[in-house]
Amino acid sequence: MKWLMCIGFVALLGGCDSSKQELDSTKATLNSVTAERDDLKTKNASLQSQLDAARADLAKAKAATPATTAAATTTAKPAAGAKHPAATEKSKHHKS
């Protein structure tokens, strides 16, 4: 009976050895996956900051466009053939 228990104990230790190898392999895989995750988080943060900068530039461009359009319309000359309002007022006064 003692021999049977000894053989069972040796078999149990032998089984633990393969489990240890599997555990070590799983730990190595976990470490590589964790490193890859950290690298991807870093890349994501970098891309997010680039996206935020691009959005800010786009907002500045959109804000500058209406101001440029408004400035262009206030300095634009009247269309050909259109009379200036001051000239129209003078002509009304001279006819009376």
Is residue 22 situated within a structural domain?
A: yes
Is residue 7 situated within a structural domain?
A: no
pLDDT at 43: 98
pLDDT at 30: 97
Any idea what DSSP says for residue 96? Answer: -
Q: How does 26-63 read in b/e, with b if 16+ C-beta sit within 10 Å?
A: eeeeeeeeeeeeeeeeeeeeeeeeeeeeeeeeeeeeee
Q: Say which residue, 51 or 1, is predicted with more confidence.
A: 51
Residues near 84 by Cβ (< 8 Å), separated by ≥ 6?
Answer: 78
Is residue 47 situated within a structural domain?
A: yes
Percent of the chain at pLDDT > 70 equals: 51
Count of domains for the chain: 1
